[in-house]
A and B are shown apart, each in its own frame.
Chain A
Amino acid sequence: MSQIEQELTNKFPELKIYEHNPKRLYITIPKEKITEISKFLFEVHGLRLSTCTGIDTRDGFEILYHFSDDKTGTYYTLKALVPKDEPKIDSLAPWLPAANWIEREMHELLGIEFVGHPNPAPLLTAEDWPKEKYPLRRDFAPDLTMEDDFQEYKES
């Protein structure tokens, strides 16, 4: 068990840690603790936020925060679940600039609200992309003929 894993278990005993192999750890956390645990990993141990993944699952939106320990080559992935009817979680962007763009992307592609984000404007989609359509959600209708939609929208 690595030193970081040891400290995590001591400090937050309610976490579930799954070791896929010595260099890939997956830690399930309650969503209220995301700022506290991220600050612990970034400020105390100097881990780098690599990216975040948002997944639409049956139980809710799962947000994965991938932290990289460059000294040992290990990835610590924090998993937080937010409910579908109220997809809100605290934003890391105010104190961690590395999270700024990726939270904007998750907001526009999945509809998750990051409370406290300084600039939640769309990042990738065009200005005329309809605001309530989230492409990476399971209920996004892919067989809607996008082009007819786009043409009508342009003519309107």
Chain B
Amino acid sequence: MRDLKLWGLKKSPWVFHVAAASCNNCDIEILDVLTPRFDVERFGIVLVGSPRHADALLVTGVLNRKSLPRVLRVYEQTPKPCLVIGVGTCTCSKHMFRASYNTVGPYDKYIPVDVFIPGCPPKPEAIILGVVKALNKL
């Protein structure tokens, strides 16, 4: 049954975008991926409006104390199995905010992350490559 689910996932992943304390650059590059220049429909990637319909989560931004409960709640609402893709260097490590009093550990301390896409911000081509790699991981 699990294999059937994963096969379904592979065909057209529905993606939900959640941002913690991000500077918005990664978020805008994710939206740029929808514009006519980079055409992600050929991979069947579609942005949805609720985590309950999502197969993959695109997370951006460094985690801070106020946004951590929110991100965890979104992760709990997403039906498993789901892919978590961390976009941007803020998700891989804490970037240059590690010295701050308000930021908490990198993402994989709280939720399992499948693919990290480094870059500040990663270019749209890199985001597409990252999502495709995540799909191939299944």
Contacts and interface: CB of A to CB of B under 8 A. Distances in A.
A146 interface: yes
Nearest to A150: B104
A44 interface: no
B99 interface: yes
Contacts of A126: 64-66, 102
A146 B103 CA distance: 9
Q: How large is the interface on B (under 10, 10 to 19, 20 to 34, 35 or more residues)?
A: under 10
Nearest to A136: B101
Interface string A121-156: 000011111000001000010100011001000000
Interface string A110-128: 0000000000000001111
Nearest to B101: A135
B33 to A, nearest CB: 31
A contact face: mostly helix, strand, loop, or mixed: loop
Contacts of A150: 65, 104
Contacts of B66: 125-127
From B66, B101, B105, name the one whose CB has the most chain A CB atoms within 10 angstroms: B101
A25 to B, nearest CB: 33
A126 B70 CA distance: 12
Nearest to B66: A126
From B65, B66, B99, name the one whose CB has the most chain A CB atoms within 10 angstroms: B65
A125 B102 contact: yes
A12 B54 CA distance: 65
Contacts of B102: 125-126, 135
A80 B106 CA distance: 41
Contacts of B64: 126
A147 B99 contact: no
Interface in A61-117: none
A128 B104 CA distance: 14
A145 to B, nearest CB: 10
A21 B102 CA distance: 37
Interface of A: 125-129, 135, 140, 142, 146-147, 150
12 contacts: A125-B65, A125-B66, A125-B102, A126-B65, A126-B66, A129-B65, A142-B99, A142-B101, A146-B101, A146-B104, A147-B105, A150-B104
10 closest residue pairs by CB, A with B:
A126-B65, A126-B66, A135-B101, A147-B105, A147-B104, A146-B101, A150-B104, A150-B65, A129-B65, A125-B102
